[in-house]
Every structure is written in C-alpha cells, then in structure tokens.
C-alpha cells in the first residue's frame, strides 16, 4: 500500500511546518508552556509529540544543563529535523514513541510535557494514563490543547474549503485539532488516570504571519492549526 507523505510528515513537510507555522502558532504558546516549568528543578523531562523541536528548544534554553530531556514523536522525520537545532552535548535524547504506549519504565520522569499533541492521540484515556505511569511521585504532566472552531475561524475556513472539493465524505483531519477542548471531559480523563491535583489555565494570544501565502503553506504542511489555545493543563 502506498503511504501518504502528508500523513507521515516526510520530505519538505517538517521544514515548511517549522518555518511557516512555528513562529505564528507554536512559538508563542511554547514560551508560555515552558514558563510553567521553571519554578522547580527536574532531573529528567519527557516531551511527547515534540514535532520539529519548538518546545524542546525552549525547554533546553530554560532549564539547567543537568536536566535530561527525552524528546519523542511518533514520526521520526519530525524529530530528525528537530535535531538540527541542537549541538552535541546539550543533554537531549531523541526517541520514536507512541503517546498511548510509552516505551519507558514506571516512575522514570519528573515531568511530562506535550504541546498540542494529545488531541491527535486516538485513545485519549491512554494518553492520560501513560504520563501518569511514567511520572515519579509528585511529578507534573503539563500539556495544552486548542480551543474549538468557534474561536479559531481560520481552521473552520480551511475545513470548509477542503470539504467543498468533495461531493461526500470529506476528510475530517481539520476537525481533530479543535475537538478536544471540553474542560470537564479532560478533567475526568485525568482523574481516571490517577491525577489528583489538577489545574487548568486559559490563554488567548494574537498570532501574525508574514503573509497569507506563507500561512497557507504552513497549514497545508500541517493540515491543522490554531489561533487560540484552550488552557494549559497541569496534573500531578
């Protein structure tokens, strides 16, 4: 069976994703997310769905050099691109991993971080259970998600535009990033996974691209996006 290069994020896709979407809708939220981890010391941090290393780079810059960062993604091409942002000796390890079946022992990390990734994991319950399993006692699971279509009109427009080319059964990829925003449901999943101290934060940021063409190129590479993030969740 021929594999879809867009689904696998191969070729020029990681570069376009990083270049055109990174500064617009990932960097601002990466800064906000990482700022919530600078209040205490960590020996080992696991990043899930690291993509092209936008959060990874900020984690490395913000945390002591002695903090070991394990950056993972389901797609190897994405983190192979991310590696180029780091020099040897920066104490970052890269590994392919499924967020719903993490290949790490129980109680092996002080913090687990995931930026805009849990929405794409089909088994949301597993996406909450696995971080809880690999966290040490008192550890932190910090992640953020995108808000719904109603406050992300560009996503809704992209979805409607693509759907207009199909007589029936249009692809639903654009709906996925904006479908996991219900705070009550997210809290319930965290509680069922074992987390007890749960906090949620809501942030809204204005994002700007150099041009509509560049933003459209990025959207085409990622096939998703967001303008408003619905909180950063922190469970321990």
CA 234, CA 236: separation in Å to the nearest integer? Answer: 7
Number of domains in the chain: 1
CATH classification at residue 219:
3.40.50.150
Q: Residue 202 has what pLDDT?
A: 84
CA 101, CA 88: separation in Å to the nearest integer? Answer: 29
Q: What are the tens digits of pLDDT across the range 131-155? A: 999 999 999 999 999 887 777 766 6
Q: Is residue 78 within 8 Å of 52, Cβ to Cβ?
A: yes
CA 91, CA 101: separation in Å to the nearest integer? Answer: 24
Cβ-proximal residues to 40 (8 Å cutoff; 6+ apart), any chain: none
Q: Residue 53 has what pLDDT?
A: 97
User: What average pLDDT does this structure show over 113-128?
Assistant: 96
Q: Residue 2 has what pLDDT?
A: 35
Q: Beta strand pairing status for 228-235 and 198-204?
A: antiparallel
User: Taking 70 as the threshold, does the pLDDT of residue 171 lie above it?
Assistant: no
**What does pTM read for this prediction?**
0.84
User: Which domain does 18 fall in, by range?
Assistant: 5-235
Q: Residue 11 has what pLDDT?
A: 64
User: Taking 50 as the threshold, does the pLDDT of residue 12 lie above it?
Assistant: yes
User: Taking 80 as the threshold, does the pLDDT of residue 218 lie above it?
Assistant: no
Q: What are the tens digits of pLDDT across the range 194-211? A: 999 999 988 877 777 777
Q: Is residue 181 within 8 Å of 214, Cβ to Cβ?
A: no
């Amino acid at each position: 069976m021929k594999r879809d290069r867009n689904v696998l994020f191969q070729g020029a896709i990681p570069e376009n994703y990083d270049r055109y979407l990174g500064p617009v809708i990932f960097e601002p939220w990466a800064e906000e997310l990482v700022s919530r981890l600078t209040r205490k010391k960590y020996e080992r941090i696991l990043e899930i769905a690291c993509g092209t290393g936008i959060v990874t780079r900020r984690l490395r810059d913000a945390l002591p050099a002695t903090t070991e960062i394990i950056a993972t993604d389901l797609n190897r091409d994405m983190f192979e691109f991310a590696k180029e942002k780091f020099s040897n000796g920066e104490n970052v390890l890269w590994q392919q991993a499924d967020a719903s079946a993490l290949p790490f022992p129980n109680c092996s990390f002080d913090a687990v971080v995931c930026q805009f990734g849990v929405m794409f994991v089909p088994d949301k319950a597993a996406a909450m259970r696995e971080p809880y399993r690999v966290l040490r006692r008192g550890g932190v699971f910090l992640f953020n998600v995108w808000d719904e279509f109603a406050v992300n009109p560009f996503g809704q427009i992209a979805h409607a535009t693509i759907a207009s080319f199909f007589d029936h059964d249009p692809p639903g990829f654009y709906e996925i990033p904006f479908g996991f925003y219900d705070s009550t449901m997210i809290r319930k999943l965290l509680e069922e996974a074992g987390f007890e101290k749960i906090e949620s934060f809501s942030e809204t940021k204005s994002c700007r691209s150099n041009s509509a063409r560049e933003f459209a190129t990025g959207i085409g590479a990622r096939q998703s996006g967001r303008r408003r993030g619905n909180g950063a969740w922190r469970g321990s």
